[in-house]
Amino acid sequence: MRIIISSSVEVKDEAKAINRLISSDIHKFHLRKPSYNLADFLQILLQIQPQFLKKVVIHSHFDLIKKYNLGGIHLPEKDRNALSNIELKALKKSLNQKGISLSTSFHSLEDAENEGELYSYYFLSPVFDSISKTDYTANSALLYLPETIIKSKKAFALGGITEENYNEILQLGFAGGAMLGSIWK
């Protein structure tokens, strides 16, 4: 399964590109605009065709999940760390009952093993050298997934994922890959 993550900055004809990407065979589209205020975020969100909104996962402005038929919430590390495990379990249960996913990102296998069950799925990164962040180099430990992570089918590879190495991450045991730099560069 493929997940596409938006560029964190504005891209020319971005809404058109997002609609084209979502209409292809992808699992989810992560709308990640950390510097966007609510008005700017809404401007891009409202240009996504309504039939595609169920595939959209947002990384901020979480109240929008109630108003629009969005597919999920992605908790950045700072938001994740602000919640207890009890709060995360309750949030996941509430979202799952509404058909909404809860995801996050981990940078270590230990964190994924200890906390991964609290999420519908999660990103493990960086698996390869990042394309979008030049100082974000591969964590070779992520190439050796424990059997518990492989069996969970929740771990998506992030960091340097391209069409050329996509089959490799599947062979390593990841459920799929999340692409950012290879799409927007």
How many domains is the chain partitioned into structurally? Answer: 1
Q: Do 7 and 184 form a contact (C-beta atoms < 8 A)? A: yes
Candidates 72, 80, 123; CA nearest to 101 is 72
Residue 26 host element (H or E): none
Strands 176-179 and 2-5: parallel
The string over 152-164, giving b where at least 16 C-beta atoms fall within 10 Å of a residue's C-beta and e elsewhere, is bebbbbbbbbeee
Range of the domain at 24: 2-184
Rounded to the nearest angstrom, the gap between the alpha carbon of residue 99 and the centroid of all alpha carbons in its chain is 16
Give the Å distances, CA to CA, from 143 to 51, 123, 131, 164: 36, 13, 18, 16
Q: Do 113 and 148 form a contact (C-beta atoms < 8 A)? A: yes
Domain CATH for 81? 3.20.20.70
Strands 101-106 and 72-75: parallel
Per-residue pLDDT of the chain (185 residues; tens, 9 = 90+): 899 999 988 889 999 999 999 998 889 999 999 999 999 999 999 999 999 999 999 999 999 998 999 999 999 999 999 999 999 999 999 999 999 999 999 999 999 999 999 999 999 999 998 888 878 899 899 989 999 999 999 999 999 999 999 999 999 999 999 999 888 87
Q: Which two tokens stand for residue 97?
A: 């009952």
Q: Do 179 and 4 form a contact (C-beta atoms < 8 A)? A: yes
CA distance 179 to 175: 13
